[in-house]
Structures are given as structure tokens and as C-alpha cells.
Structure 1
Amino acid sequence: MENKHVLITGATSGIGYELARLFAKDGYNLVLVARNEENLKHTAQEMERLNSAIHTHIIPADLFEKDAAQKIYDKTTQLGITINVLVNDAGQGEWGRFIKTDLEREIALVQLNIVSLISLTKFYLREMVERNEGKILQLASSVSKAPSPYLSVYAATKAFVLSFTEALIEELEDTEVTVTALRPEATDTDFFHKAKAENTVIYKEEDLYTPEEVAEAGYKGLMDGENVVIPGFKNKTQHAMNTIMPDSAIAANMHKKMESSTKENGREQSSHAASQRERKTINTERAGVNGDY
């Protein structure tokens, strides 16, 4: 019996890369999507070394572009590949006061985080329902239900992803197709650097989840057919608190986390904080534009 195929966007770094490793270990053939072709080739080689029984396809595509999702779908159709699992991991953010951030950049984020995700979901979900078989993992976020000053557009796009996913779950109730929303807390990928948010309180002063932790939780939840996956005790606790707090209080709390850190260079840092900085620097070498928060 031929191995099943999984298509992963943002597959060369961060959470997407770690998910690719988990699928490869379990014998899934991989369709890897990202912008940089050389990184895709390198990742494909790594995955085939991890499990020589699988094969990989790479599709260089820039999901900021309006026709990218259609091109990806057309390519898998041309290759005769059935996508059994779709992982919509690719996503970016932009830090700053909304009145000062760049409008074109934020419109591009909506294209990446929402429009491309909708499009890929539409293309492959139709086939899954026709076969009555398939799984989709959508990268939402802990901020999907947390209005977030300085990340206002990003948080709003993730609120869309969660709402969209929960609606699809209900629509698909009488099928064997499942859709899962993964809602990680702040994760140690290059998201903060790409969003220009590396000086925020949450990045400099709080413990971040690792991409491996988030991917493992998401993978298990996807395979178990869970509706929503919230990795980590701290994340679950914050989620529980958010369900009883008014949105204004949640926004005020997020404001404190997302503002610039007051711990400037020259002040004494704890050994824990120093190790945190070192770990983040190391992980940035593997992380890329598609790590999610």
C-alpha cells in the first residue's frame, strides 16, 4: 500500500519543519512548500535521510502572492498526488502601533494568513469530502481569542483562522474528514524577528515554547481528530482565564506583554534570562519566516 501524502506550508523551519519530521518518521510522503527553493531541497534531503522509505516533493511558492495557492493545487494535481493531510502552517505578523505600521505589509499579511489558507483549504477539502477521508491542521494561535495591541492585524487574522476552523468542524460533522486548530502560545521561532518584535516583553522576559513541543502536541491532536489543540499547561491556564475575563482586560494584559521590554542592556540579567537569550539565538539559525506564535 502506498504511503499517504501530507502537504505542509512553511515546511523549512519552525513548527512546520518539526511537523515534517514527525510525518516523515511515521512514513508519510511529503509535499513541502516554502519560498526558498534551496531550503526546500535541503529539508527534503533531511527528511529522506530520516526515513528512506518515503519520498518528497518540493513546491517553491510565495503565499503572499494571490495565485500561489492555485499554483500549488495545480502542481499536485499534475503530479497525480492525493493529499491526505493538509497542514496550513505558513504565517507572519507585524509588530507596532497600527497607526504607524505599513498598510501594504498588513494587507500582505491578510493574503498570507487568511486568503492563502482559505484557498488551500477549499481546494483540498473538496477532494477529502468526496473521498470521505482526510485531515487538515490549521495554525491558529493563543491570540486567536486575545485582542493584541501592537499585533492587532496578526491577532485578528488568527481569530479568523480559529472561527473559520470551528465552523468547518461543524459542517463536516457527518463525514470522516477532520479539521484541527492548533493554538500555540509564544514559540521560539523566527516569528518575532520577522515581525520586528524581538524587543518585546514576551520575547525577552518570558519562557517560550519550543517548536518541537508545539509540533508534537499538534501532531497528536491532528491524528486523534481533536477540534482544538492548546499545547502546554501555561497556555491552557491562560486560555481558561481568558474565557472568564472581559476582552478589555485581555487586551490590557496583551498590551503589557507586547510592549517594548524595560530590561535594557547594562542591567544585571539572571542566569536564566541569559540562557534564554542563548537558546533563542541558537534556534533562530533553524527558524525562518513561517514559524508561528
Structure 2
Amino acid sequence: MHAYYADHFVLPLPEGHRFPMAKYRMLRDALAQELPGVQLHEAPAAATEDLARVHTAEYIAHIAQGTLPPMAQREIGFPWSEAMAERARRSVGGTLAACEAALREGIAGNVAGGTHHAYADKGGGFCVFNDIAVAARALQAQHAARRGARGPLQVAVIDLDVHQGNGTARIFQGDDSVFTLSLHGARNFPFRKEPSDLDVELPDGCGDDEYLACVEQALLALELRFAPDFVLYLAGADIHEGDRLGRLAVTDDGMEARDRRVFDWAWRRGIPLAFTMAGGYGRDIARTVQVQLTTWRVALSYHARWHNGRP
């Protein structure tokens, strides 16, 4: 199973910054040591043409040239640097590459990605470019270019990060070819939500049983309302009980059960799926990495099922 990383493009963050940049390298090391079935590749940089399917030319230029106003930088949460701009393109490129691999093999993933707070003309919440939106549009463009293609490729975004995917929801509002599903903390960031096609708001302290029931109901509702050709899955680790920013109480077992439900749902329907890690801000970052490693372990088991035939 193919995985794409960009952790060696490290942002020069000030000491004490709350974004756990080290987790990406820790996860890549854990994948290399514990899951030899995962093939690690350096993420390519997304081309301007790909970014421009979603983002405004002015915003792309600001990121490339370092002319982003200070207020816009504060909204993102990262100071601008050449490394920040390069990492942003690589984060998107990793998801684009994972989509290409998933089309061939059923499942692939990005060790980073899930930057769902970025809008067409601005970033936010540690998100510069919206890799999910760019990937959906790239998939649709490739589909449209194929001879005999009928209608747009139908893409489902299953966003199970603890924070609502406000940027993704806004980008695809009114677009019947992309279904945006978000399960998130009702009282968590962003405090001004954008309407997704299906939003499920969760109370603080939500545990395994309630959370998994909501996942089941949401997947059922998705299937009743939409017939996807491709799934983009944000496997946020910040719903975990040990997360500093999550405010939910999903255990290790609950996290694994969540991932199994999503991968199984797509596999049983023969729908290719690309996944990203999205958020994860554990009090003990090593625990966050273990939660994410479990997601990859589950994904690898379903990748094997794709190669062994459909149910």
C-alpha cells in the first residue's frame, strides 16, 4: 500500500508553538519499522494548475511569494517561510498522489494532509491549501478528460476530524458532484461553521458507543443520498480521549472501530478510497502517533482485501 510523506520539509516554528510538527516524522518512522507492507514515497509538490482548480490566483501568489498579510498568517497559525510554502504544496501533492494510487489499488494514504480549514482565498487553523478540495477537483478533471466519460465523477468527503471541515464545506456548497460529510465537536473550532451536505454535531465527552452509532447513521444517510465513485477520508486522531484540543472521549478501541467501519463501507461497495491523517494533538504525542498507526494498520488489511477480491 502506498503512502506519501513530506515531513522533511519542516516549518521553522517558534519555541512553544502548539502545532506538533514532530508527529509526522514519528509516524513515518513507525510505519517503516512496524508496517513493512506500507511503501513510503516522498510527496510531490502540487502544481499551480492543480491548486488553481480550487484556490484564487491571488492567494496562491501570496503563498508563493511571501506576501501574505500578517493577519492572514495569524489566521493560518504559521509564519510564512519558503519551507511553509513548500510544505503546503507537498501536503496537497501527497493527497493527489494517494488518489492516483487508490484508483489503481483501492486504498492509499497521505501521512499528512486533511487541511480542511483552508478556503479558496485564505487559510486557517494550520491549513494553507485545501488538499481535499484540490484532490476532488483533480479527480474530476481526470475523469472528464477520459473518452466516453458521462457526467462528473461523484466524490464523497468523509471528514471524521474533531473540527468541522469549514473550508471544504464552503468550497463545495451547491455542488451536487461532491458530498461533504462532517462529524465534529459541536462546541469546538471553528466556532462559525459552514453547512456541509451532512453535519453531525457531537457533545463534549462523547464516548465510543455514541460516536460509533453516529458514524453508522451518517454512513447510512450518505448512501441514501449519494452514490460516490471515490471517497476521501479524513481520519482525524483528535477525537481520541487523550487529545488536547478534541474534548471527546473516544478510546483506542473506538478509534480502530471507527476506521474499520469507514474502510469496510468503501470496500464492500468497491469504491476507491484515499485517506489523510488530519488532526491529532495528544497530550502525549507518542499516543497520537499510535492512534494514527492503527489507522494505517486497518487500511493495510483492507488494501489486502482489495487484492484478494471483492466480498
State whether TM-score is above 0.5.
Answer: no
* Band of TM-score, shorter chain: 0.3 to 0.5
Greater length-normalized contact order (CA 8 Å, ≥ 6 residues apart)? 1
Tell which structure's C-alpha radius of gyration is larger. 1
TM-score, normalised on structure 1?
A: 0.39
TM-score, normalised on structure 2?
A: 0.37
Whichever structure has more helix as a proportion of its residues is: 1
